[in-house]
Each structure stands twice: as C-alpha cells, then as structure tokens.
Structure 1
C-alpha cells in the first residue's frame, strides 16, 4: 500500500530560513522512509496573502480527493480557518506549527488579535498538530485550545559535525538569522558597540530581502555607530557550516523562537552562545553552554559578550559544554521517524 501525503507550503520552499529548512529536511526524511510526498505550493504573501492568493490556495487544497492526508505548514494554515472548517471532515489534516503567528515580533495589535483568532479556529479542525518544541506545545494548549493529546513534538534534527577548534588571532562572533525584527540584530549591534574596546569581528548571516526595511535600518545603525569595518551583514548563504566552523562564539538576540535551529547548530559546532530568555531558547541552550539575558537588554547582552571575549578560559569551558550538549541532540532521521509514525496513525484513522 502506498503511503501518500500532500505537503502544502506557502512562499518559496528553498528560502534559507529555519522554518523552510525544517520543512525540506522533513520532506526528505519522509521520502527516505517510503512516503510519496507530493508538494503543493500555496502562493506568496502568507500569513497575510491577498484575496486572490488565498482563494487559489483554498481551491488547490480542496482539489485533493476525499480522505487525502495533508501536512500543511502553519505559516499558511493559521489563516486557512474558513477552509479548514469546510474541509476538515473530508480530509485528514496535520498542521505543522513552527510557532504561533500571533507571536511574531512587530505585529500591530489588531493583526496580532486577528492571527490569534484565525489560528485557534483553524487548529480546531486539524486531526493532529506537529510542533517543533515543548514550549510551543504548551503555548498551543494554554492559549489556542489544542488538547495535549492532539499535539506531537518533533524537535528539529541537528547534523553531526567533526570536532574542530577555530584558531583566530581576533575573536570571530557569528550570528545567523533573517534580518527581521524578531531576530534582534539591532540589540546585538548595539551591544557590540559596548565592547568596541575589545578585539573582535562579527558576521551576521541572514536573508535581507524578507524584511527590507529592517535590513536597511540595521545598515544605518552600523554606520551610525561607526562599526562598518567590524560587522559584516553577509546576507544569506547556501551552507552556514563553514562559518560556524570558523567562529569563536555565537550570538543572537532573538525576541522569540519557536525552537531556534541555529542555536542547536551552534552547540553541535561547539560554540559558546549568547542569547535571550526568549521562547524555546532556554530549552535548547543549556546554562553551562551559554549566557542568556533578558530580551532587549542591550547592557546585559554587552556584558555577556565582554565576559566571553575577555576570558578565553571561560569561553573554552562553555565551548566544551556546548559540544557535549550538541552530541546529545536528535538527528533528522529521528525527526522524520516521529512524524512518520504520527502520519501512519492518521492514515489508519482516516477522515476525522
């Protein structure tokens, strides 16, 4: 019997973001486990598409035959509540929630409230909900009326890497994350100004074109602080592994993370981490491997940078702890196996 699944996604599946990276690895993993995964593109602009895109996406999803098994990325599913109510009895739907739409940084209050209403309603019609962290599972249970028994946690996998140690005369600070408000690069840049007296170079890897206004504001901030020679906004890269291998420490001031795959990757590379108590970050970064500070606290972030930049022994101690923690992280085969088991059960259950 063929194990068939439609994976529906918004936007460009090849974008170098954590969410799309998770999607790609799960698709590959399910195919390796024998699933026939048909890809269905839902169009651009989600989670706030125009009416024509939304209508076309609904029509494409509704064209699936009765009893079809669908896995729908939450960036789109959270605003497909009307469609989900119409089709939730006919189709077997799993929603993949990287993090609730309403928790994105920078939303106007009315948009935040709208996303919260639509996602809560959409999730009510999903057979199962897949999340990428226990924190998101708790959030959905507490605030989105999703019963714990309908939620499956499938942590992102992390690739194993060879143990290496960067040998840099000047400390190399690495940050990875789309140039968006949520990633807090403005906090990192301001904090770096506070340690300008120390020797360091910083590289920020992340797409510029998903939030051009924020990308432009970061460039202006760097120029205003006179740090153009020391901070490189490198844009998106095909593979961040070489940059991780060259770095001495990882710093990202995210205001929220549904999981934070880049933190897991930093651990796997043995990098000490500076980050914020935000979303699932404390679940990913052990206290012995990193320093976590309050969200938007530039002074505390700068002090953490100073600690690791000025004390090589402390930096190495945390690097060793990071390496040990990284070795315990699940692989992508584990992630795919968890989701495959859930989908097998859904396929046996049939239409809800």
Structure 2
C-alpha cells in the first residue's frame, strides 16, 4: 500500500472558517484513501500564513517524524512561508506542495524550489508559477478541484435572487458588488452574501454602513459562513452567482454554482474564466467583466435582470456546462497519479 503524509492547517474542518483550500484538502484526503492510499494527516496549529515560532517548530517536528523516502503532500498555505523548514528535509523526503494561492514572495520561491513536485489547482496558476518563478516545467502539475453534481436550481421568473459566496474581505470585492448593485434600478433583485464576517471587522462594518446609506439594507443580507444543508438551500434558492473578486486562482464557488445550473456573473481574473468554461456548443454559461470596475459589473447585472431572452440563454448554457464538470473522484485520481510518479 502506498503511503502519503499530508500537512494541513489546523481547523481544516472548522465550519466558521470555510475555504476552497480546506474543502480541496479534505476531499482529496478522502479520495486518496478510497483509492487505496494510506493517508497520514498532520494538522498544524498556527495563524497561517503568518506562523509564529511555535507553528514553525510544529511543522518541523511533523516532518521529522516522517520516515526517510516517504511522500509528503503539504498545503501551500504552510509550505510557502517555511522554506527554512522544507529545505533541510528536501533530500530525505519527497515533498509535494499543493499550491492553492501563490503569494509572490521570495520565500515562496525558495520553498517551491525544495519540492519534488508542485500541484497547481488550475492551468492559470501553473502558468503564473512558471512565469514568475524559475521552476522546472516538468515539476509543476495541474489538478483542478472537483465538484459534486447537485439538483438543478429552479430559478425565478425575474432572475433577481443573487448569491455571492466568499469571505467578506476586500479581495473578494463585496464593496464593488454593493456599489454596482446600488446603481441597478431593477426592483426584483435581492443579494445574499455568504462568507466569513470576522476576517476584517472594520471592512464588514463599513460595508454594512454603506448598504444602509445607499438604502440597500433591506435588499442585501450578510448571512455569514454557511455549510452543509444551509449552503445547499442558498444555492437552490438562487438565480445566479455573482463574484466580484480581485484575484482568484480558480474559484470553486463558480463550479459549485454551475453544478446546480446557475449562471455566473464574475470578474475576469485569474482562473475564473477556466472555471466558468464553456458549454459543449461553445457558449459561456455566464458573463465576465473586467475586475475593479463596478460600472461594468452593474451593466452585466442589468443585462441579466433586464433581458429574459439572455437569461434563458445563460441558463441553458449553465445547465449544459453542468454535465461536463469533473467530480472529486477525478481530482483524486489525478493527484494520485502525481504522487505515484513522485513516489516511483
């Protein structure tokens, strides 16, 4: 039986801190186990990606317990900031870094250079790593996130039930979305923001004040982080996903929406176009706009809300794209192939 040791941040299953990276880590650990791997998980406490001395020592101690020659899969949130811990182990262990989000730092270059392989979660991320860092091309792989196919969302006639999923932080652009929505006169829209509210308290307070000042408080809802049945219900009741992110390496919420036949209105950043993809007939199951421009986002929302023919076209494209999405079993198979190559 092949073995892999997996280092992940502590709190990977904390419902108060949901993230795409945590979901990816958890699903591939389960998937590798189902494929016959012996998975040894090491959850390391720390304020990642800003670890203190104790967190650094904990990662070093976890690696020291791994026998010589074993494969170690390390979440990039940990690996990217610990080159001094990884480099001494690079000759003894076969280190594989799972890169969810590049940090564009010199320390990250050193950490990745110590790895036997780097796994990017999108083609865009792989290109970014190769463009910015002097990494051998044959050591950087792509293993995209999977998604669970879900029941189709029924959708309303108006299309006005908008959903935004992501931590309420400036990087996710909820302030830009709020500014865009303030200029959309269509009376049908309501928007639910789902995501952690405690990562930037000042920003969240300012967002609530702005919603009140723009007389939007009764049309927007900051629901906090949702998981399980509550999150499923939110997707099922939505008409479209809106994503105003400034930076995304992939955007797992995009495929989560498409898995329910929901069209996507999103900024054209990073790996988002890759996640949105195309239906088999070549049509886009959503509208992509330039990032950082609330006017462009508002125009796309008016197009979605104001044109029933366009809504029908986008819904048909989303339902068609839904049937082409890869599942987590495929993701686990692809990661297994990378780990097997490193092990051999």
Distance 1:34 1:79 in 2: 31
* Contact residue 11 and residue 46 of structure 1 kept, 8 A: no
- Seen in structure 2, the aligned counterparts of structure 1 residues 322 and 197 have a Cα distance that, compared at 3 Å, is closer
Q: Quick check: 1:12 aligned with 2:8?
A: no
Alignment of 1:317-328 (within 5 A): 317-328=313-324
Q: 1:160 aligns with which of 138, 149, 155?
A: 149
Aligned partner of 1:302 in structure 2 is 298
Alignment of 1:253-272 (within 5 A): 253-272=244-263
Alignment of 1:115-264 (within 5 A): 116-167=105-156, 171-239=160-228, 240-264=231-255
Partner secondary structure for residue 101 of structure 2: coil
Aligned partner of 1:66 in structure 2 is 68
Partner secondary structure for residue 199 of structure 1: coil
Q: TM-score, normalised by structure 1?
A: 0.91
* Contact residue 121 and residue 144 of structure 2 kept, 8 A: yes
Distance 2:289 2:165 in 1: 18
Distance 2:288 2:191 in 1: 19
Alignment of 1:72-91 (within 5 A): 72-91=74-93
* Contact residue 11 and residue 45 of structure 1 kept, 8 A: no
Distance 2:199 2:3 in 1: 32
Distance 2:121 2:331 in 1: 9
Q: 1:97 aligns with which of 93, 96, 99?
A: 99
Which consecutive residues of structure 2, in runs of 5 or more, have no partner in the other structure? none
* Contact residue 141 and residue 148 of structure 1 kept, 8 A: yes
- Provide the aligned length of Structure 1 versus Structure 2: 334
* Contact residue 153 and residue 262 of structure 2 kept, 8 A: no
More off after superposition, 212-221 vs 27-36: 212-221
- Seen in structure 2, the aligned counterparts of structure 1 residues 317 and 228 have a Cα distance that, compared at 3 Å, is same
Aligned partner of 1:112 in structure 2 is none
Distance 1:131 1:333 in 2: 17
Q: TM-score, normalised by structure 2?
A: 0.93
Distance 2:89 2:190 in 1: 53
1:166 Cα deviation from its structure 2 partner: 2.1
Superposed structure 1 runs of 4+ greater than 4 Å apart: none
